[in-house]
Structure 1
Amino acid sequence: MASISYEDFEKVDIRVGKIVAVEDFPQARKPAYKLTIDFGPEIGLKRSSAQITNYAKEELLGMQVVAVVNFPPKQIGPFRSEVLTLGVPDADGKVILLTPTREVPLGGRMF
């Protein structure tokens, strides 16, 4: 894997948001949800498509998550995904969302 500089890392804007709405996304090629995430007053509400159907919708509501907020929006079928919600695969390949270990202010930037 190629090395990057710290300046390259600083270009990636990774923030904490809270999931405030979860909808099914039946038009997605792989099972997914449409998320609405609140990143606080500076960034506001953003939408994300995420292949995280291993989570129950009720489990996701109110969860703080980590997302890249400065990628250009991506059209996924009829849905426009504005942020990339971050996760890592578990031993079975299911996505486990990255979350702060404690409640933090919405919009907090990772450094």
Structure 2
Amino acid sequence: MSTLSFDDFMKVDIRVGTIVDVQPFPEARKPAWKLTIDLGTEIGTKRSSAQITDLYGIEDLVGRQVACVVNLSPRQIGPFLSEVLTLGFPDATHNVVLVAPERAVPNGSRLF
């Protein structure tokens, strides 16, 4: 594994946001949700595609805070433009477990 400097790490802008809307994404190759995430007044509301349907239903997601990379180029996923990368870790069966703060923080707060 290569190392990077702290300055390199700071180039990745990871912020917290609250999921405010979840829609099915039937056009996706793998089961996914279309998320709308409130990332605070500085960044605003952004959209993300997330392959998290095995562990999370719509009712589990709305109102949940998640960590997102906000400074990647948008990515076209079929007919959907994903504007941020919602972060997660694979569990033992390779399902994505979302990354979130252990208590509520203001939307838009930056990871450091």
Which residue does the alignment assign to 2:17? 17
Which residue does the alignment assign to 2:92? 91
The two structures have a TM-score, normalised by structure 2, of: 0.98
Which residue does the alignment assign to 1:81? 82
Which residue does the alignment assign to 1:6? 6
* Runs of 5+ consecutive residues of structure 2 not aligned to the other structure: none
In 2: Cα distance, 1:9 partner to 1:99 partner: 19
In 1: Cα distance, 2:52 partner to 2:11 partner: 26
Runs of 4+, deviation exceeding 3 Å:
none
SS at match of 1:41: helix
User: Within 5 A, what are the aligned runs for 1:90-109?
Assistant: 90-109=91-110
* Percent of paired sites with the same residue: 65
- How far 1:90 moved relative to its partner? 0.7
Q: State the number of aligned residues.
A: 111
The two structures have a TM-score, normalised by structure 1, of: 0.99
- How far 1:2 moved relative to its partner? 1.2
- How far 1:104 moved relative to its partner? 0.3
In 2: Cα distance, 1:80 partner to 1:56 partner: 21
User: Within 5 A, what are the aligned runs for 1:12-51?
Assistant: 12-51=12-51
In 1: Cα distance, 2:72 partner to 2:105 partner: 23
- Over the residues paired in the alignment, what is the CA RMSD in angstroms? 0.5
SS at match of 2:76: strand
> Which string of whole-angstrom CA distances, capped at 9 and with x for unpartnered residues, describes residues 19-64 of structure 1?
0000000000000000000001110000000000020110000000
